[in-house]
Copies of this chain bind each other. A is one copy, B any other.
């Protein structure tokens, strides 16, 4: 009975040009396993440094992305898989973040890949199945939760929010139905008096997430 090291493997999603992307990172040249290969930006848990798994995931995400604000949840435990250094337990996470103009650039080894493209890549370890799991969870959860709001910045308009839902779902939604749903779901609020002007058409009202931790869940799916 030998204890196992434990790896935190996060799948990080963001929207670029309204397309869902996932963050991959070229492994260190000096790595014993799969040097210079694109992989999930994982990291080992340090039992004496990390209070618990959530803290470990938070630390790994901050370190690997340089970003401060994101939503994340655990997908589950996998493995153990075989690493050249021995069997390793894997805890998979899904994270969702907003990229905007103020976002720090990534370190040069990291890169955003369109989700569909990443799904076709050959990734090391069991990262292909982890990625697949995360994409399924993302697509599924979008059906009945406020998750896509976390792909946008602090503030956003309803048309932007609708586009975020549509881009992850992969099909278009009816404007009227969508707005009714959002009103009823009641997880966003107007930023009173603030609208997006400047374009040659009617300005859009600005909204933000209501102060609350976690996701909001709908009673029924957006489309059956």
| Chain A residues close to B by CB (< 8 Å) | 1-6, 44, 46-48, 52-53, 74, 76-80, 87, 89, 91, 219-221, 224
Contacts and interface: CB of A to CB of B under 8 A. Distances in A.
26 contacts: A1-B44, A1-B46, A1-B47, A1-B48, A2-B47, A2-B48, A3-B4, A3-B5, A3-B6, A4-B5, A4-B6, A4-B47, A6-B89, A47-B80, A52-B79, A52-B80, A53-B80, A53-B89, A74-B76, A77-B77, A77-B91, A89-B89, A219-B221, A219-B224, A220-B221, A220-B224
A79 B89 CA distance: 14
Contacts of A224: 219-220
A76 B219 CA distance: 24
Contacts of A44: 1
Given A3-B5, A220-B224, A77 B74 contact: yes
Nearest to A44: B1
A36 B74 CA distance: 33
Copies in the complex: 2
A220 B74 CA distance: 25
A81 to B, nearest CB: 8
A222 to B, nearest CB: 11
A91 B221 CA distance: 30
Contact of A220 (B2, B47, B89, B220): B220
Contacts of A4: 3-6, 47
